[in-house]
Amino acid sequence: RGKRLVNWDPVLHTAVSDLEVISSEEEGSMWHMRYPLADGSGHIVVATTRPETMLCDAAVAVHPDDSRYQHLIGQMITLPLSGRQIPIIADTYVDPEFGTGCVKITPAHDFNDYQVWQRHKDTAALQVLPNNGLINIFTVDAKIITNPDSEILNVIPTAYRGLDRFDARQQIVADLEAAGLLESIKPHRLMVPRGDRTQSVIEPFLTDQWFVKAAPLAEPAIKAVENGDIRFVPENWANTYFDWMRNIQDWCISRQIWWGHRIPAWYDAQGNIYVARNEAEAREKYSLADDLALTQDNDVLDTWFSSALWPFSTLGWPEQTQELATFYPTNVLVTGFDIIFFWVAR
């Protein structure tokens, strides 16, 4: 279990897998914004397709070999509109030829930025930022937060609190222009990720989820196909399988929906987590008192996790039934190529 970025559908209010996100090219804009240097000596220009996320910027990154900005590495920037100070950092993720060569780093709302943040989070410049720079500004509805209990509410100007993300974008752009900090707006074609059910724009969202470390599990499954123990017909679909399995990431298996297998974890009032097959086993496994109140996790398992259990759930496992002995492992699986990732691999 961990707090990580996931694909979040703001209509369904749940994490969705990469395979449930459809990205298509759309017409958009690239906003070029002036970020003033904190010492008053000038500004740098940052380009973005999502100006609303500037509210949670943690840094501006430049390439360490970019001579235009080497003298600025380590200096501070005053973030427009909010007045927070953030550092200029060096990272090879930045492409000096793209945009202005300065990239705003928003780790709580961008997957690539999150990776940059992971490399720099222990530096002094980031450690002094709210929540170490990992600032989530959105609610589950993709609106700017208004929760007074949020530890980062005070970094968000009052004028933007409660706004839908796209309304906040319009207001922020207008305010930047009024402050003389909007350098330019240029047409830009970009890939927009949308949920395959709702068509809502998917938001990279920082939330607590459950994950399976998939890479060690993938290794014997890869070898089984390489060795010919499992064979794809037609053979070309093995390449599709390998492409997925050899680049597999941790699998987010929790979903915030109503129907499914409950996550087998229980919590006490202090938030301690107890994982077991049922509550009785959890109490025995962790030597918990009978009067300790436990609450089961409200999330359910990803439907493809549940579907991968199909041979067990239909053949009587864990009982050693005749059906299980006869049909598992199976000899032939006739299936569609579109669920090689979803189901066949798993």
Give me Rg for the CA atoms of the chain. 24
Please choose, from the candidates 170, 199, 321, 88, the residue with its C-alpha nearest in 3D space to the C-alpha of residue 159: 170
According to CATH, the superfamily of the domain at 28-191 is Valyl/Leucyl/Isoleucyl-tRNA synthetase, editing domain (3.90.740.10)
pLDDT band at 241 (very low <50, low <70, confident <90, very high): very high
CB 15 within 8 A of CB 207: yes
- pLDDT for position 81: 95
130-179 pLDDT tens trace: 889 999 999 999 999 998 667 788 889 999 999 999 999 999 999 999 99
- pLDDT for position 87: 97
Q: What stretch of H or E contains 119?
A: helix 111-120
* Residues 115, 112: Cα–Cα separation, whole Å: 5
Q: What stretch of H or E contains 279?
A: helix 279-285
For residues 315-319, average pLDDT: 94
Which residue is associated with the tokens 């499914």? Answer: 260
Share of the chain above pLDDT 90, in %: 82
- 316: left (phi > 0), else alpha (psi -120 to 50), else beta? left
* Residues 297, 272: Cα–Cα separation, whole Å: 12
- CA-to-CA separations, 229 to 147, 217, 221, 222, 310, in angstroms, rounded: 55, 16, 10, 10, 21
221-234 pLDDT tens trace: 999 999 999 999 99
Number of neighbouring beta carbons within 10 Å of residue 138: 24
For residues 181-199, average pLDDT: 95
What are the extents of the domains in the chain?
Answer: 28-191
- pLDDT for position 148: 66
With 90 as the cut, is the pLDDT of residue 88 above it? Answer: yes
pLDDT band at 305 (very low <50, low <70, confident <90, very high): confident
With 90 as the cut, is the pLDDT of residue 341 above it? Answer: no
**pTM for this prediction:** 0.79
* Residues 167, 63: Cα–Cα separation, whole Å: 32
Average pLDDT of the chain? Answer: 94
Cα angle value 244/249/253 (rounded, 5°): 105
Bridge partners of 211, per DSSP, are 252
Bridge partners of 192, per DSSP, are 24
